[in-house]
Amino acid sequence: MKRIQVIFVVACVLAWGGLGISAHTQDAKPSNSAAKSEQAPPDTASGPAYSGMYTFLKEGEFVQITVEDEGHVTGFVSRFGDGESDKGAFLDQFFKSGKLEGNKLSFTTEIVHGVSFDFKGTVERGEGKSPGDEAYFVLKGTLTENASDANKKVTSHARDVMLKMFPQDAQPPSAARK
């Protein structure tokens, strides 16, 4: 009986060790499909690749885009206030809605100090040479600024814009530390 127990224990140890060896072998040599997916550049038509910070209207202003599942887009615009009460103050306007269908992007911001923005356009490859370069992607389209006055009269001003993606190493320091 002891001999059977010893054989069973030895078989279990060998089996466990064999699994460990095969796991290390798999780690050391990825399969061809895994190697290809690791070495291939990110799919430029992929929504998540478009996520990042883009320039906005003035120096120091930006829009943060995050593409989530099924083309749902979240983000915010950080800009300087233009009104009498907020002139020069930094304002964050979060997206009320946003979506990406293929490369067609649209978003609408919440109203902050009587101002909201609507963007309708496309995400396109820019002049950046490789992922992580400045302007690797650009947002091209129409940005409409909607401003309401004290009498709640809304004035809309539309303009064509090209918003360039910031370089990857220009992300805020807190994002780089993670």
Evaluate the CA torsion angle 157, 64, 109, 61 in order and state its sign. negative
Kindly report, residue by residue over 146-178, the tens digit of the pLDDT.
Answer: 999 888 899 999 999 999 999 986 554 444 444
d(CA 76, CA 13): 56
Q: What is the DSSP code (8-state) at residue 87?
A: B
Q: Is residue 82 part of a domain?
A: yes
| Pair 88, 127 in one domain | yes
For range 58-66, the mean pLDDT = 96
Compute the mean pLDDT over every residue in the chain, rounded to the nearest whole number: 78
Residues 6+ apart with CB under 8 A from 7: none
Range of the domain at 30: 2-39
Question: How far is 104 from 119, CA to CA, in rounded Å?
Answer: 10
Query: Alpha-carbon distance 76 to 86, whole Å?
Result: 18
pLDDT tens string 18-49: 444 444 444 444 444 443 333 333 344 567 88
Q: 22 with 109, same domain?
A: no
Tokens at residue 46, please? Answer: 């992929």
- Rounded Cα distance, 38 and 30, in Å: 10
Matching residue, tokens 């910031």: 166
- Could you tell me the CATH number of the domain that includes residue 110? 2.40.128.30
Give a yes or no: residue 178 inside a domain. Answer: no
Q: What is the pLDDT of residues 99-147, one digit of tens each?
A: 999 999 999 999 999 999 999 999 999 999 998 899 999 999 999 999 9
Q: Are residues 66 and 124 in the same domain?
A: yes
Instruction: Give the tokens for residue 148.
Output: 């309401």
